[in-house]
Amino acid sequence: MGEARALAVALAPDFAELPSTSPQETDGPLDWPGYGTARKLAAERTGERESVLCGVGTLGGARAVLIAFEFGFFGGSVGSAAGERVVRAFAHALAQRLPVVSLLATGGSRMQESMVSLRQLQRIAAARACLAEAGLPHVAVLRNPTTGGVWASLGASADVIVALAQAQIGFAGRRVRPPGDDHAYRAEGQFAAGNVDEVVTPDDLPAVLAQWLELLRGNADPAPVPNALGTAEPAAGGWDAVRLTRAAVRPRADAYLDDYFTARRTISGDRCGGVDDGVRCGVGLHDGRPIAFAAQLGTPTTPAGFRTATRLLRLADRLRLPVLTLVDTPGAANDDRAERAGLGPSIAELFGAIASARVPVTTLVIGEGGSGGALALAAPDNTWITPDAYFSVIAPELAAAILKRPATEVPAVADALRLRPEDLVALGAVRGIAGTR
């Protein structure tokens, strides 16, 4: 039994292969000398008739279509027969309303079929796009190695990307890339660059996949407002509200996520080469129901953080998952690095994603609501606030500086901004103040 079939059966013991067309037994569309003989040898060595096997099985409690690449068969490369198998597997998932789990181990397109092989990537991308349009999830597992066009067309387009530890991952394979930093082509390097959501061990893979399939189930009801975890005492004034919010003992986003969800998994990175450790995004279970979340952790949010939140919103919208956002930031990062990375456009994309969302979005301001960097995560008509939080057009210190007032007048400026929770409710800026248990 080849590695791909063994993995498919290990993940889904009831794995049943889908019918497939007969593979080529000739020298192929190019009349490549010896190609037919090499195919027969690959089949004898692996027990497979192609580089891809596709079937249906149960992972945890969820039925899914599995697409498993056999690296021992021409390096898991895709030719016309393999491409046809993948396209048919996506079509079966679409017809049966099933998620897809792809188990990649591939060197890319098959040289012996030249452009006939390369064009399979377009067919696979189109099939994947149809699945996404239908609101069905695709989870990709990157095994060792995952390189070339299959990584770029199938793996990198997945809703959630899980990589096995130390797997070689990259568009350029080892034999065709220039010398450089090998870490960039490993699972851990791709995770650090924001291109992979999780790096897991083979032992953990079954549980991780089963949980992701459980979490990516759409539902319609809005996310309930979380309970406030900090003080319930109202602030005496605007500056008092700011001081309460900035207190070291105030509960942060992770405390709210732990309290709200019984289980959760995170996505990581903006898939543009950036990661913001101050933004936490993913999907969790609340009262047994999947809810997507995007949470700020109290730091200035960078373009990568806004783009990751946008990615989460668009994923939730496509899969019909309600969204919870937790706002806590002094504001958007305002240094030159953030500007070069596209700060304005990244905020604009997030504003647009929330404005156009077809799923309900619930927002709770749990700390500092610093200007547009905080507002970008806020639901226009369903934003709530905790007693120990504030929301303001600008930080009081910055407002005083713009008004050319001394530091001694910052408290008075804070009062004038009317940024206390009670003031925000009266102004109609938030719907209400979250209650405590």
Q: Is residue 80 part of a domain?
A: yes
pLDDT at 175 over 70: no
Residues above pLDDT 70, as percent of the chain? 96
Task: Summarize pLDDT for 67-110 with one digit per residue, the tens.
Answer: 999 999 999 999 999 999 999 999 999 999 999 999 999 999 99
Which residue, 183, 215, 247, sits at the end of a domain? 215
> Are 105 and 74 within 8 A, CB to CB?
no
Which residue, 183, 200, 215, sits at the end of a domain? 215
Is the pLDDT higher at 373 or at 26?
Answer: 373
Q: How many separate domains does the chain show?
A: 2
Kindly report the average pLDDT of the chain as a whole number.
93
Same domain, 176 and 324: no
DSSP3 helix / strand / coil % (the chain, rounded to 5): 40, 20, 40
Same domain, 122 and 185: yes
Same domain, 55 and 138: yes
pLDDT (mean) for 158-182: 82
Same domain, 102 and 30: yes
Confidence band, pLDDT 50/70/90 cuts, at residue 40:
very high
Confidence band, pLDDT 50/70/90 cuts, at residue 173:
low
Confidence band, pLDDT 50/70/90 cuts, at residue 362:
very high
Same domain, 180 and 249: no
Q: Is residue 375 part of a domain?
A: yes
**Listed range (77-81, 217-221, 255-259) with the worst mean pLDDT:** 217-221
Same domain, 190 and 284: no
Which residue, 184, 215, 246, sits at the end of a domain? 215
pLDDT value of residue 29? 87
> Are 197 and 155 within 8 A, CB to CB?
no
Same domain, 178 and 45: yes
pTM value is 0.94
C-beta neighbour count of 172 within 10 angstroms: 14
CATH number of the domain that 211 lies in?
3.90.226.10
Q: Is residue 220 part of a domain?
A: no
**Listed range (69-73, 115-119, 158-162, 274-278) with the worst mean pLDDT:** 115-119
Same domain, 250 and 183: no
Same domain, 153 and 265: no
> Are 76 and 111 within 8 A, CB to CB?
no
pLDDT value of residue 232? 86
Segments forming the whole domain that contains residue 179: 3-215
pLDDT (mean) for 380-408: 92
> Are 358 and 257 within 8 A, CB to CB?
no
Q: Is residue 265 part of a domain?
A: yes
pLDDT value of residue 220? 79
pLDDT value of residue 436? 76
Q: Is residue 353 part of a domain?
A: yes
C-beta neighbour count of 127 within 10 angstroms: 20
Task: Summarize pLDDT for 263-314 with one digit per residue, the tens.
Answer: 999 999 999 999 999 999 999 999 999 999 999 999 999 999 999 999 999 9
Check whether the bond before 145 is cis (ω within 30° of 0). yes
Tokens 């039994």 belong to which residue?
1
Question: How many C-alpha atoms does 203 have within 13 Å on its Cβ side?
Answer: 0
Same domain, 190 and 287: no
Task: Summarize pLDDT for 6-36 with one digit per residue, the tens.
Answer: 999 999 999 999 987 666 667 788 889 999 9
Same domain, 303 and 422: yes
Q: Is residue 228 part of a domain?
A: no
Tokens of 120: 């399979």
Burial level of 382, CB count in 10 A (0-12/13-18/19+)?
Answer: middle
> Are 304 and 269 within 8 A, CB to CB?
yes
pLDDT (mean) for 420-432: 95
pLDDT value of residue 27? 78
Strands 279-286 and 289-296: antiparallel
Q: Any residues with CB less than 8 A from the CB of 404 and at least 6 apart, and which? A: none
Q: Is residue 230 part of a domain?
A: no
Same domain, 260 and 187: no
Q: Is residue 223 part of a domain?
A: no
